Structure 1
């Protein structure tokens, strides 16, 4: 009887909590075009999903430990050649992209003040950051063609008479590595996650316009290739994600391969590159963590009376740094313990520099799972806003009067398929990460037994991160 009484009390507390949550969901709140907040609390049996996800990652490790490395490597590296294409139109495409970017900046300065009516925040936070990352992970490095700097740089280089990057020695000292890109990426993450109004059109237009100018002059000073590979954080991030893509381009020929195979051809990243990649994962992880009842409760914040982003700047900044430090420390510990178990075949720096590439499938999976709801809803707002960028009654693309179907992410049925999609993506990302890590371990050790031993701590870390990621999706959030 006592068990029934306790269960009845729990159910009554759930019902009492459901009513204020439903009421709060109906209240008008500030719009954040890049956010991916959930409008419901999951009542699915998430414990089974979490256990199943952790088991799937563990089983993938055991299977890879038993499969003969040579046979698996031969299967893994198979490619299907498709067709060849050159770079002749790359400058034109980039110039068109630059013209579109200039129009968006103008719209941010002179268009609507509503982030859901102005195309600038919708394009940057939803179409570029949320959506384009997914395209990079599928179709390869499209950013090399679509970025708004390559075309203007080529034109300016011809006018000024700059030599090509291949004949121009790099003026960036080697010790800098990717640290400039890391600092810029951290500033971007802080602006997105911590700044009080990251999607205010005028504020965002000033930040994006200033960044374009600084980047353009840096490319003129240090060379386009040098700055794109080591300084411009979007180019560095998108090129890393593109290595995961099943569509790979080598020497002008496009081929179809297994997802993640491009990562296995990578060389060890330096410390700065490892920091950059780990920041890509930790920042999106903290974005999900920062809105949970658990995180807010640690600092005495009532999640049902969310005080707004301005009041949480200090807490958010601390959390963004702390999440990165903890992830970097745990990753380093897993690599170190793996080396001790198997007997170090390389230096710690080389081993960590290789194995950090296995973070890419996880980071991409978290990115997709985290932003899928924003992409589905705010992507529709973007289509509407792009047809009338200055709120003048235009209908350039015929979508200005399109009805936005926000119900695509609302309701029990949507909760079910969204949860399954997000959970499946996260689990698949971790399984692929285990596979990539094993590929690097085989390259380093040559012996299956030593390779498997070296991956045991890292696999445990990935299992723990799978549980953490699924918990983030299921736990109640505020704001």
Structure 2
């Protein structure tokens, strides 16, 4: 494990752009396949919708549901995650400074990327393992909610997921645009503010605040729509389900497009911000703002770039959905939210394409640091720096293939999901022409994603 590489990574966050760039041939082949499949799906594939969120799925054995609902299991997972958070907090306060501390790796790698992997596999786990939710329960506040609801205010329906969207934007700002993303003080401050806001919001609005405003819970909820398991709404049992039937169950609430725009736009900006062109631009202009220090001037320029990327994703998707032909004004108004779930496969695909090597390799480094939280030379759990295997970095052709495959597959799944949903919403005469704007927008996302991976 090389400390120089780790320092570079943690100073940036988890930016995947320090991987070897995707070869141009890979990018072009991937884009060509994406474009071909897109046109084939829209023009030649099924003419009637095939995916139904109301399909019951196949019930798993009853013991699975009993185990998932078991208070013993849920408390065990919650307390284990809470103790893990305490362990990390001890390392953050009393451990070594800089890149040798475990906190940045836990925050930027295990949490931000690992949460996607786990949620896609098993479902929205953050609502169970959230340390803040666990603290809320340990303080006995759930009993307080039940005993005296009159002290709580009803969560405003118009807020929807907007608080979570701003929370996610705050996270990606810290990672990608702040003056020092790897600073322990900055991460600790962010986590302190996050914890206080979550507890204060829950005190005012009850536990529903976590489900709507916790950025990590909404993040986990969104990507879990691709999980092959869900709860049968009629029987309450855990069922195995086609992820394409599960995907449209993403709740349509205000701010859902903003959440997905932040996730996709920030990941794209992460690639772009590491390009020589943008770095040269920041270096040239950060010294020309005399009111700010050079570090904060550079942060301001990166902040503008981040907001532009997020806004472009949100505005283009909203405009493409609203441009759908053949519908009345009421349906047109609802279309961005009704089609928002189709962005989830692109988000998941691009996150894995961008950050997979960091989850696999920097995740190992982080676990080694957690085995020595105070920097005393301990080897708890038998972990040692020599145990880290840089399997993806040592096999760049495999890494390139995974990158392009994730982007292309995510795009194809997204187009299929949007097409199937459009078949339910659009009149028959507009089922092809009405999708052209959305199809071109998604193709544009794919070309842009592959170009940024290549240009990184």
TM-score range, shorter chain: 0.7 to 0.9
1:74 deviation in Å? 7.0
Matched, 1:264 2:248: yes
Equivalent residues of 1:139, 1:246 under 8 A apart: yes
| 1:80 alignment partner in structure 2 | 58
Aligned to 1:149: 132
Kindly report the root-mean-square deviation, in angstroms, between the aligned alpha carbons of the 2 structures: 2.9
Instruction: Provide the rounded CA distance (Å) in 2 between the counterparts of 1:390 and 1:439.
Output: 53
Question: Is the alpha carbon distance of 1:364 and 1:76 closer, same or farther for their aligned partners in structure 2, counting shifts above 3 Å?
Answer: farther
C-alpha distance after superposition, 1:145-187 (max 9, x if no partner)? 1111232222323697332799986433333332222222211
- TM-score, normalised relative to structure 2: 0.86
Q: Is the contact between residue 56 and residue 427 of structure 1 (CA under 8 Å) also seen in structure 2?
A: no
User: Do structure 1's residue 52 and structure 2's residue 33 form an aligned pair?
Assistant: yes
Structure 1 segment 58-457 matched on structure 2, within 5 A: 58-64=39-45, 67-69=46-48, 72-73=50-51, 77=55, 79-83=57-61, 84-85=65-66, 86-89=69-72, 90-115=74-99, 117-157=100-140, 161-163=144-146, 170-224=153-207, 226-251=208-233, 252-270=236-254, 272-296=255-279, 312-338=298-324, 341-344=325-328, 346-406=330-390, 408-410=391-393, 414-445=395-426, 447=428, 449-457=429-437
User: Structure 2 unaligned runs (5+)?
Assistant: 286-293
1:164–1:152 CA distance, 2 compared to 1 (3 A): farther
CA distance in structure 1 between the partners assigned to 2:142 and 2:265 by the alignment: 42
How many angstroms does 1:311 deviate by?
5.7
Bigger mean CA deviation after superposition, 149-158 or 329-338: 149-158
Instruction: Sort the Cα spacing of 1:76 and 1:220 in 2 relative to 1 into closer, same or farther, 3 A.
Output: closer
Cα gap change, 1:450/1:164 in structure 2, threshold over 3 Å: closer, same or farther?
A: farther
**Against the structure 1 CA distance between its residues 342 and 130, is the aligned structure 2 distance closer, same or farther, given a 3 Å change threshold?**
same
Q: Which residue of 2 aligns with 1:11?
A: none
User: How big is each residue's C-alpha offset from its partner over 1:359-397, in whole Å with a ceiling of 9 and x where there is no partner?
Assistant: 111111111111012112201101211211111232221
Whole-angstrom CA distance in 1 between matches of 2:219 and 2:143: 29
Corresponding residue for residue 439 of structure 2: 459
Tell me the number of residue pairs that the alignment of Structure 1 and Structure 2 aligns: 434
Deviation at 1:262, TM superposition (A): 1.7
1:30–1:48 distance in 2 versus 1, CA, 3 Å: closer
Contact 2:229 2:241 in 1 (8 A): yes
Query: Where does the alignment leave 5 or more consecutive residues of structure 1 unmatched?
Result: 1-25, 303-307
Note the alpha carbon deviations across 1:196-223, whole angstroms, 9 max, x for none. 2222234323321342233123223321
Q: 1:265 to 1:452 in 2, by over 3 A?
A: farther
2:289 maps to what in 1?
none
Residue 53 of structure 1 aligns to a residue whose secondary structure is helix
Kindly provide the CA deviation profile for residues 19-65 of structure 1, in whole angstroms up to 9, marking residues without a partner as x. Answer: xxxxxxx999644252323343444523233222322333232343x
So what's the TM-score if we normalise by structure 1? 0.82
Name the CA distance, whole Å, in 2 between partners of 1:425 and 1:469: 10
Q: Partner residue of 2:291?
A: none
Counterpart position of 1:18: none
- Are positions 1:468 and 2:435 aligned together? no
Alpha-carbon shift at residue 94 of structure 1 (Å): 1.5
* Counterparts in 2 of 1:78 and 1:217: CA distance versus 1, 3 Å: closer
Distance in 1 between residues matched to 2:295 and 2:58, nearest whole Å = 49
CA distance in 1, matches of 2:392, 2:264: 25
1:253-292: CA deviation from partner (whole Å, max 9, x where unpaired): 222222232222345332x222222222111111111112
Q: 1: CA distance between counterparts of 2:272 and 2:440?
A: 21
CA distance in 1, matches of 2:137, 2:248: 32
Residues 198 and 210 in structure 2, CA contact (< 8 A), matched pair in contact too: no
SS of the residue corresponding to residue 441 of structure 1 reads: helix
Do the aligned partners of residues 91 and 45 (structure 1) sit closer, same or farther apart at CA in structure 2, a change above 3 Å counting? same
